[in-house]
Chain A
């Protein structure tokens, strides 16, 4: 299995809702990442988990809460989002927690989030 699976593929939520994005990989990768991508912009790093511990938080607002229950799963809990948070949310994983291997990052297909 060489895939990163993200669910759901599309999500529409109101500003008072609570929802979660899920990400799963079975490649034995020890680092997992959340990126946010707005239209016609590059992916922007949000969080890095290394060996199931949060190692980087790019000053993301607390309305985004990551969780790594085990080495294969990564969640992103969403609460009280704003319309400007609408974007493609990408999960990625890498074999090397420092990301410096020639394998690079493997991305999931993303969750298209719309906040109304």
Chain B
């Protein structure tokens, strides 16, 4: 079982729709959870972090965490073509004390 799993996509949504990205992790001791956005050929950019169960909102982005289910999600409201990128879920803590990335989900927002 991979430490951090994501559906590789591509996830295609129309402009203005809600994009829902999902991530599961295997280490129950994980403490911190992050979503990074990576445009092709560029470096990852941190867009959301979440520690506690529940929702955390920042502008058009909402991160959701359910530690019991070992599940993290990212919702992007009013999706724009500029949101088209690979979204990387990253998990820190537990046994490894390392930031471990999932394989990423490619999001394509269609105009």
Chain A positions within 8 Å of B, measured between CB atoms, are 33, 41-45, 48, 56, 88, 90, 98-110
Inter-chain contacts of A106 with B (CB < 8 A):
46
In-complex Cβ contact of B46 among A45, A100, A105, A110 (8 A): A105
Inter-chain contacts of A103 with B (CB < 8 A):
49
The reply to whether B45 and A48 form a contact with Cβ atoms under 8 Å apart is no
Inter-chain contacts of A98 with B (CB < 8 A):
97
* Contact of B28 with A by CB under 8 A: no
Inter-chain contacts of A48 with B (CB < 8 A):
98
A45 to chain B, nearest CB (A): 6
The reply to whether A104 and B31 form a contact with Cβ atoms under 8 Å apart is no
A-B contact pairs, 8 of them (CB 8 A): A43-B88, A45-B98, A45-B99, A99-B98, A102-B51, A104-B46, A104-B49, A105-B46
Q: Known: A42-B103, A43-B101. Is A99-B42 also a contact (CB below 8 A)?
A: no
The reply to whether A109 and B93 form a contact with Cβ atoms under 8 Å apart is no
A104 to B3, CA, bound (A): 18
What 19 additional pairs, Cβ within 8 angstroms, besides A45-B99, A100-B92?
Answer: A42-B88, A42-B101, A42-B104, A45-B98, A56-B97, A90-B43, A98-B97, A99-B93, A99-B98, A100-B32, A100-B93, A102-B49, A104-B32, A104-B34, A105-B90, A106-B46, A107-B45, A109-B43, A110-B42
The reply to whether A99 and B49 form a contact with Cβ atoms under 8 Å apart is no
Q: Known: A42-B88, A43-B101. Is A102-B42 also a contact (CB below 8 A)?
A: no
A41 to B102, CA, bound (A): 9
Inter-chain contacts of B51 with A (CB < 8 A):
102
The reply to whether A107 and B32 form a contact with Cβ atoms under 8 Å apart is no
Q: Which residue of A lies closest to B88 (CB)?
A: A42
B42 to chain A, nearest CB (A): 7
The reply to whether A105 and B99 form a contact with Cβ atoms under 8 Å apart is yes
Q: Which residue of A lies closest to B46 (CB)?
A: A104
